[in-house]
Structure formats: C-alpha cells, structure tokens
Amino acid sequence: MTATSDLGTAQLASPDLLRSVFRRHAAGVAVITARGESGPVGFTATSLSSVSAEPPLLSFGIGTGASSWPAISATDHVGVHILGEHQQELAATFARSGADRFGSPTAWREGPEGVPVLDGVPAWMVCRIVGRVPAGDHRIVVAEVVLGDPAGPGRPLVYHQGRFNGLRD
C-alpha cells in the first residue's frame, strides 16, 4: 500500500479546496458556441464529458453568471469544438471576460442550426440541448450530437495547473 499525504493536512470543503484539487486534474479543452440574440457567443470549457453512446450524448458545465449563459439558456443548439495544442491563444480568448471572441483572428462560419463553427479545430459537433440541470452556481447542459467532424488537424490541447499545454510523448 502506498502512503498518501498526511491526513493532518486535509482541508474542509470550500471553493478554494475544489479549485486547488482540480488544478491537478488534466482536462481536455473545448469551446462551446451558440447563436445569441445579438450575435454569436462562446466560452472555453474543461468540463466537457461524454455521457452516452446510444443515443450520443455529452455534457458540459456553465456558470449562471457567465456572459454566454443567457444564450445557452435560451438556445436549442450549441457547437462543441475540441481544441488542438496549436490553439492556446484561441482557448485564452474564449476564456477571457470581455474579449471579442469572434473578431479577428478567430476564424469561424455559421453552421447548421445557425451555430457558430470554429475553423481549424481537431473536431467539432453540433448538438441539440436536451437538458439543463441545476448544479450550485452552474448548470450542467446535456446535449445530443446531431452531426460533427472528427477529421481536423492537430493534437489535443489540455489544461493543467492553470495553463494550456500540449500532450507529451
């Protein structure tokens, strides 16, 4: 049996504890997009998860205070984009509050159901929202994949210890 850290250093549950623990959890990086009333919206997400293969479902979390939440709460469809290690700046742009996320140099086009589809990503999907589950100050959005393309360029981008990184061989 391998020893873990001393239980005497354990902390009571708190937002800071949760953030500190999840900084040690490497996660894939995605950008979620939607058509909003006044134009396209989007945000960087590391909470993307496969839920079911039959039917093809995925989930992601979004804070109810996020600038994209009003559009995500009202729309029927979203775009889900898996970012490549060559897209660290794109991930940072979509994570930055107040950024012009769809201005230059972001390359995108209007896709099916009016969903903004980002160019140059390793994979993308258009999904129909089937549920929004309350979860504290967030909502967990469950969506069914309608169509997508897994044939784009690049290796995946990951987020770890507060930074975007590529995979090491």
Q: How far apart are CA 27 and CA 46, in angstroms?
A: 6
For 138, the token pair is 């967030």
Query: What pLDDT was estimated at residue 7?
Result: 79
Q: How far apart are CA 146 and CA 148, in angstroms?
A: 7
- Output the pLDDT for position 6: 72
Amino acid 63: pLDDT: 97
The helix (H) or strand (E) run that includes residue 42 is strand 39-45
- Tell me which residues of the chain have a pLDDT lower than 70: 1-5
